Copies of this chain bind each other. A is one copy, B any other.
Amino acid sequence: VKAAFIAVGSELLGTERLDTNSLHVARILDKHGVALVRKSVVGDVRSDIADEVRSAVEKNDLVIVSGGLGPTEDDLTRDALATAFELQLRHDESTLRDIREKFESRAMPMPEVNARQAMVFEGHRTLPNRRGTAPGFHISLARDGGEKHLWVFPGVPSELEGMVELDFEPWLSRVHPGGGRHRRVLRVAGMSESAVEEKIAPFYEANPTCAPTILSTAGEIQIHLVAQGSAEESWTQLDSWEGSLRGLLGERCYGVDGETLESVVGRMLASRGQTVATAESCTGGLIASRITDVSGSSGYFLGGVVAYSRDAKLFLLGVDPAVIDEHGEVSEEVSRQMAVGARRRFSTTWGVAVTGIAGPTGGTEDKPLGTVHLAVAGRDEVVHRRFLLPGSRERIKALTAQIALDLLRIRITRSG
């Protein structure tokens, strides 16, 4: 079964707003094993809406439309559907009464324009709106010897969600029983998409039916797995796939589903009774800010220093001035001393330090833009990594924070 989603509204073609109703509908479709193959946005133009819906119904079994059901002149979805499929619109007295009562319950007279919302499709189902005035519709169309289904909802998210819950979802589970897609996401930091692809190549060969989707976001690769069937079967399948992938990725897979690096690091520290402090130059506090995005982080994060100046590195972190003079502020030696300094200053188990050149100026031939030195100090040793990162200032900051948290995570794992 293939589904298409259409959002109606000129404001959704502008420079500020995105349709978000499709995310909610996608979640419900996914749960019932229906594939959303296309979504689109059209403006408040009768012929554009009619063309779009007609062509979607031709190509798909199920079409969901949101928006354009309001009371004003530019709410044209009803008229466009009537034109597109030669449907009869009629005035419905009970719908009008319902709308009028909603206004009266808020001690307001019903504006005359709202009477438009009492126009319904003859012979098709009208869906009551429990959270607003515009009713929705379920229209069945005979096509290609079968039936196609058109569901029409208001554009206001809470109103759409109400109808989806009480009318659309019950219908879906009746029409597509048993379906059910279950998902798992494996997350990997600090590797390129192609490096991940190479590592997991044997998985593709061993599991030709799996077809994972690889998503690349800032500093992170996600492997999306989907299993179909009953919940129990699917979970067994997902567990087995996850096991194989973790076998190939080793410690590089930091978590699954909604887990973030900072939440994983936080959980590891909390369960070990360990603590951490940060010493940041080019990330300017971003690592500390991410660590403290986690509720309960005050239990293991004691604090940090943003050492943006030479003096801050000397006086707050105890970096040796001779080392700065010899190697420069952006150097392996300084990052190591910063990590040790943070660990000592805050008396923590771990110290994480970063110094680098986030740009866009400040790069040299020797130390180009994007040069970053990371160090993690623990009880027994200080581990250092050097990176050359691409992109804008903000991207370099974000990538550095991500890699630093991942390096800390790996050090904690290896420390047992």
Contacts and interface: CB of A to CB of B under 8 A. Distances in A.
A23 interface: yes
Interface string A287-310: 111011101111001111111110
Interface residues of A, number: 97
Contacts of A190: none
A298 B308 contact: yes
Given A304-B285, A306-B288, A388-B107, A37 B55 contact: no
A186 interface: no
A315 B305 CA distance: 12
A224 B10 CA distance: 11
A192 B156 CA distance: 14
B312 A308 contact: no
B10 A30 contact: no
Interface string A102-136: 00011110010110000000000000000100000
Contacts of A271: none
Contacts of A395: 158
Contacts of A305: 303-306, 316
Contacts of A296: 361
Contacts of A106: 388, 390
Nearest to A10: B213
Interface stretch (A14-22, A87-95, A227-235): A14-22
Contacts of A30: 14-15
A364 to B, nearest CB: 15
Given A36-B13, A37-B45, A311 B302 contact: yes
A392 interface: yes
A69 interface: no
Nearest to A393: B295
Given A72-B197, A285-B287, A289-B289, A295 B13 contact: no
5 contacts: A40-B40, A72-B214, A301-B308, A303-B306, A303-B308
